[in-house]
Structure 1
Amino acid sequence: MDDSTEATLKERRFAARRRAERLLSGPRPQTVRERLADLATLADAPYDLDIPTDIYGDGLVRTLEQRVAALLGKPDAAYFPTGTMAQQAALQVWAAHRSDGRYSDSRTVAMHPLAHPEVHERQAHARLSGLRTVWPTTAPRLPTAAELRSFDEPFHTLMLELPLREAGFVLPGWGELSEVYDVAEERSWRVHLDGARLWESAHHFGRSLPEICERADSVYVSCYKTIGAHSGALVAGDEEFVREAKVWRHRYGGKLFQQWPAVLTALAGLDRELPRLDDCITHAKTVADALAEAPGARVNPDPPHTHQFQLWLPHPAEALDRAGVALAERDGIALFGAWRDAGPLPGLAMTEVTVAADALDWTPKEITDAMAAFLELI
């Protein structure tokens, strides 16, 4: 598919999903006008909007920081315009904190090779921050306590992505995570949670967010993933960590003059999305079971650990993309977003399924019937 054809298909997908009567995966896309109208409705939101607009991080920005810190059970938090910048700042703070004399390398971070900084940030941690990474495991899951104990390269900070998106939004069990925390304490490692999608992890662990974060030294959360804000991210930790993270925020150019529109949508997203996450996660298992009935379909993980999971089908991505757009245009049913080929596995493609509010009223039969219509169009 050439660039012009791909752009046209993307435009058709946007238009068809926006007009669709039913959506199974992800939120309904919006135009700029529609996003602006939604923002205007927040004029009646239950926040004090008769205060001055924020200036370099005060006002509504501080309101969001304090609220997220409380949600995560941490003393304080710092707001950043992007998650990439937020994690760079957090890792820089820990790189400057030497260990207690144990054999370690303060500028080396242990993470998974599928972690966001390795896959999606153009190696910013190495090119901009001078950090080195090591991989305690290459298995499609987080490292185990045994792997960490036997790992023979020194490092100072352990970064855990909860859930690990590229492996299928997978999470360890609570006991497994607790054992990893135990090893980190034994070795005096700093633990940083890449919690871009941490909000939906509490259901799987059967623990509150403060319990999950209690033994982590710092936590990053996204404002637009899951809770649907326009943009933004936060890192949380103790007061000293947050104070130093804000210094790095300034150095990286993240001390913006005003950020109230994005911050206001983040506050609204916390109110709107967090209360219904459990329903979305529970229904994701129903959706996954129904999708798995399609010929050659595979769900990963099975069952899903959160309200997001991977769906694999034995067809080329381009054919699946075209069939999905055609179904949405013809029947007003939008099942999936974009597909991508599985690299060395020809003829096999994957899409990420996100069970959001629009999917909650789908029954298993409606899903299997829609999948049958979708596959007929390939």
Structure 2
Amino acid sequence: MTGAHGISGLCDDQPVEDNTRQRRTAALRGCDRILSGIRPPTMREHLAVLDETGLLDDEPDFYGGGPMATLEERVAELLGTEAAVFFPTGTMAQQVALRYGADHSGRDAVALHPLGHLEKHERHAYNQLTGLRAVWPTTEPRNPTADEIAALAEPVGTVLLELPMRDAGFVLPSWDELVAVAAATGAAGARLHLDGARLWESTVHLEHPLHEIAGLADSTYVSFYKTIGAISGAALAGSADLATYARVWRHRYGGMAFQQWPAVLTALAGLRRELPLIPGYVAHARTVAAALAALPGARVYPEPPHTQRFRLWLPGTAEALNEAAVTLAEEEKIWFAAGWQDADVPGLAMTEITVAAPGLDWTADDIIEVGGRFLARVSPS
């Protein structure tokens, strides 16, 4: 996804021809109503957000400090950790977290899920850069259970959970399941690391605040451009010892840029603006999902959604559904859902739905009515 909530359905590594992307972006920007995602901000709109922080007259960061230190303190406060360290990318932050686990345990194996971000979207950086090996506790489309962690065939330095697991449908465990996995990880002598790129969205389903979720883990990564809407950036949170280690390896990996204040300030603004709104997005996602599931031939997963995002399947090819989405936007100024991909299920294509501020005005009746018009463009008969 891109931006605060993504151009509906565009995946992190999904190739899109420039002219297709430009047409889709132009159509979305011209819409009066948006069901899934947000209107992608221009660079000028991104920069206008910087003034919201009230920090533009302060000194910028110089290889750290300044507003970066303010952001790090805010994240540590939210997650209840001793410290947090800003990184330019989540990929870099997670490599440092896994390296820390290997260095401190002497174990070069990491318990990962084959659908996790590190396996599917990071070009196996944990192996190519650090020489770590993956052990898969399960191949089921969910995070591993405590029993599966206890049954690992070899010792691992880190157990990694992705909360929520995006490529399984933005799914989360229950709170009791998460507590049990944390206990099993500790009993195995391993560290628990949370890939929490979208952890901000997980508190409603888990029914516990951010600091209690992060409190189960030894380290937590959060993204600032996913959900929060910053230009870029991430943080790795945990102990003071981890933070000291992370700052050294951030420098070694090339992540200590001279100044990073534009990303930092948009992250601070996003935390203030979006965090209070997320529970409302998650609640409305359940209304949206139920209405979409009522469309002819539709499938929704999970139902109800665990976060403000979920998967939708509709009849048709990805090409036909994407064309229908763009022409609906161009002709009626309504953005329904795009980013369709052909699915394993014959006759269906899949996309990811993101419920954000623009989608809050849609009622179930609105969704069914516009959904019918959308499907008519795919199959007029």
TM-score by length of 2: 0.93
Query: Is 1:225 matched up with 2:232?
Result: no
Aligned AA (1:93): Y
Residue 176 (1) aligns with residue 177 (2): yes
Cα RMSD for the two superposed structures: 1.5
Pairing of 1:19-168 with structure 2 (within 5 A): 19-36=30-47, 38-39=48-49, 42-43=50-51, 45-98=52-105, 106-168=107-169
Deviation at 1:147, TM superposition (A): 1.5
Residues 178 and 48 of structure 1, relative CA distance in 2, 3 Å threshold? same
- Amino acid aligned to 1:17: L
Q: 1:191 to 1:8 in 2, by over 3 A?
A: same
Aligned partner of 2:7 in structure 1 is: none
State the match for 1:9 in structure 2: 20
Query: In 1, Cα distance between the equivalents of 2:38 and 2:315?
Result: 26
How far apart are 1:52 and its partner, in Å? 1.4
Distance verdict in 2 for CA 1:19–1:216, change over 3 Å = same
Residue 6 (structure 1) shift = 4.4
The alpha carbon displacement at 1:34 in A equals 3.3
- Paired residue for 2:308? 307
Equivalence for 2:370: 370
Preserved CA contact (<8 Å) 1:94 1:157 = yes
Report the Cα offset of residue 193 of structure 1: 0.3
Structure 1 position 5, deviation (Å): 9.6
State how far apart, in whole Å, the 1-side matches of 2:265 and 2:41 are. Answer: 18
Contact between 1:341 and 1:348, CA under 8 Å: does it hold in 2? yes
Query: Secondary structure, in 3 states, of the residue corresponding to 1:360?
Result: helix
After superposition, the Cα gap between the structure-2 partners of 1:10 and 1:49, relative to the gap in structure 1 and judged at 3 Å, is closer
Unaligned segments of structure 2, at least 5 residues = 1-14
CA contact (8 A) 1:86 1:234 kept: yes
- The CA distance in 2 between the partners of 1:329 and 1:353, in whole Å, is 20
- Matched residues, number: 364
3-state SS of 1:312 partner? strand
Q: Note the alpha carbon deviations across 1:181-204, whole angstroms, 9 max, x for none.
A: 111121121000000000110111
Who is 2:350 aligned against?
Answer: 350
Q: Which runs of 4+ in 1 moved over 6 A?
A: none
Q: Is the 8 A contact 2:170 2:306 kept in 1?
A: yes
Which is worse superposed, 87-96 or 263-272? 87-96
Q: For residue 51 of structure 1, what is the amino acid of its counterpart?
A: D
2:213 maps to 212
- Where 1:192 maps in the other structure, the secondary structure is strand
Q: Does 1:359 align with 2:359?
A: yes
Aligned partner of 2:12 in structure 1 is none
CA distance in 1, matches of 2:16, 2:162: 35
Alpha-carbon distance in structure 1 between the residues aligned to 2:120 and 2:77: 31
Structure 1 residue 215: Cα displacement: 2.0
Query: Secondary structure, in 3 states, of the residue corresponding to 2:99?
Result: helix
Offset from partner CA, 1:192-230 (integer Å, 9 cap, x none)? 000000011011111011111112000000000000000
CA contact (8 A) 1:156 1:189 kept: yes
Cα deviation digits, residues 257-313 of structure 1 (max 9, x gap): 000011000000001000010100000000000001111111110100000000012
The residue that corresponds to 1:102 in the other structure is none
**Paired residue type of 1:163:** P
Tell me how far 1:9 sits from its aligned partner.
2.8
1:8 shift after superposition: 2.9
1:336 maps to 2:347: no
Paired residues for 1:209-288 under 5 Å: 209-288=210-289
Which amino acid in structure 1 is aligned with residue 66 of structure 2?
A: G
Identical amino acids, percent of aligned pairs: 56
Amino acid at match of 1:228: G
Contact 2:313 2:349 in 1 (8 A): yes
User: Structure 2 vs 1, CA of residues 5 and 68 (structure 1 numbering), >3 Å: closer, same or farther?
Assistant: closer
Three-state SS of the structure 1 residue aligned to 2:361 is coil
Distance 1:137 1:274 in 2: 32
Unaligned runs of 5+ in 1: 99-104
Cα distance between partner residues in 2 of 1:5 and 1:82: 22
- Give the drift of 1:314: 2.5
Q: 1:46: how far off?
A: 4.7
- Tell me how far apart the structure 1 counterparts of residues 53 and 147 of structure 2 sit (CA, whole Å): 48
Q: TM-score, normalised by structure 1?
A: 0.94
Q: Distance in 2 between matches of 1:366 and 1:128?
A: 49
Tell me the SS of whatever aligns to 2:202. Answer: helix
Contact residue 150 and residue 185 of structure 2 kept, 8 A: no
